[in-house]
Structure 1
Amino acid sequence: MSLVPSRRHRGFTLVEVLMFTAILGVLAVGILPQVAIQTPDDLEKIARTRLRVFRQQIQLYAQEHNGKYPAQDSRDSRDFEDALLYSSDEDGKVGSVGTKPFGPYFIQHLPANPYTNSTRVKVVSDVDAVRSDDNPLYGWFYDPTTGRIKANTTATAENGTPIDEY
């Protein structure tokens, strides 16, 4: 018989706590993406916000370039993207970031349309005449003569207004 009474430890060991935390982490990685799906209302708010930012940056570009919109003399989508993603001079000639006095108006990429997940812009001659088709190739339609841009989506807002009319 031992004279020292035995002690029973109550609680968890550090290894057990770490294993439990690791298992919870693995479960969270599998479950969170399914829970975080955006609702149509969320998509509408994101689209409206991104359109507002796009329009503000197009207007800022026009102010800094004597009323000329990005890619005004072009129908090439790449010219529009370059005008907003790189620095430019008063005449609209683009250069590396920081080499010209104006821009960039967006950093690294244009905003994605939340409905198509595309950042690509299709340059058109009349943005109002273009029918949205949810084609994931293009996120936006842009008219360089007017500076108007709209989302490529057939979704409607909560109030019934087509998103592409915002």
Structure 2
Amino acid sequence: MPSRKRGAKKTVKKEESLVDENTAVFKETVYNVESKPELKETPVIAINTIEQPALNETSVIETSEKKPMKKEIKVLVILVIILLIVDVLSLYLYYKPDLSEFTNFFKFKSGKVVEDSNNSNECKDGTMQDSCSKDKPYYCVDGNLLKKAATCGCPSGYKLDFQDCKKI
């Protein structure tokens, strides 16, 4: 085995050539930086098929995998974000949800505190706050008369029907 100096570089050159349709010759030349080139010839019999064309001197086999570019990924992310925004807007406009619970959490309306319109402790008919009216089955709540037959009862000639009174 020939001795090789440390640091000597090798260069390999591969060539293909066709002898006839069924025979191809592959030449592999190894160049040492400090020595003369060595030449090896290897005859190979190749069978042509319809699917695979014969080897040419200029035939080059390339294999490359395309990786998604950063620019393409950014465009996809932007398109997905735009799609989500359009979806949320369309759902909001279609269902029209009441968001006053979120915007009116502390009873603020346009920066001002919302106060009760009725500061007195009685309703329009003179009934005191949180008590039954003389006109049954009404009950005074926040200045408004509400039907509350289960609490206040019914007038004579009427019977109780949940929070309302019905004529007998």
TM-score (norm 2): 0.24
Answer 1 or 2: which has greater helix percent.
1
Q: Which one has a bigger Cα radius of gyration?
A: 2
Identify the structure with bigger relative contact order (alpha carbons < 8 Å, sequence gap 6+).
1
